Amino acid sequence: MTRRLSTAWLLIFPSLALAIAVILYPFAQIVRLALSDVSRFGQIRGFVGTANFARVFADPIFLGAALRTLEWTICVVVGTLLSALPVAIVLNRPFHGRSLARTLVMLPWAVSLSMAAVVWLWAFNGDYGMINAMLNEAGVIAAPT
């Protein structure tokens, strides 16, 4: 049993070492910098302990920004849940065209950002774009822009 355990650790070690290098080392550096006096050029001048945290949490600008960030995060999470949960419940029930509805809901997520950017560039193209053509036909604009 000990030989199997040693073999298992030997096989896991490269991934574990990589995880430590990628996660723990940067985290330790962040903690070290947070507890140090650092110049504008990134040179560490000395250990200050939690004085940096005391100064940041006493700053009313930081507290206001932190509060707005917390409010924004709560609103986005609650809004996402309130809008996505009913859609998920409906799409989980059997109905005619469910596969098409699921595809249409998932399509924006599946299309990459670069492809979406290309489509928008085509849509707003001044010479032959779909948006300009529709605005021209509707009489909103006189000529493609």
For residue 2, the model assigns a pLDDT of: 85
Hunting for tokens 């996660």 — which residue is that? Answer: 23
For residue 144, the model assigns a pLDDT of: 67
- Specify the length of the chain in residues: 145
Beta bridge partners of 49: none
Backbone φ, ψ for residue 67 (5° rounding):
-65, -45
Tokens representing 114 are 């670069």
The domain segmentation of the chain, as residue ranges, is 1-50, 59-110, 111-145
Distance CA 139, CA 58 (A): 57
> Tens of pLDDT along the chain (145 residues)?
688 888 989 999 999 999 989 999 999 999 999 999 998 888 899 999 999 999 999 999 999 999 999 999 999 999 999 999 999 999 999 999 999 999 988 888 777 777 888 888 888 887 778 888 888 888 888 876 6
Query: Whole-structure pTM over 0.85, yes or no?
Result: no
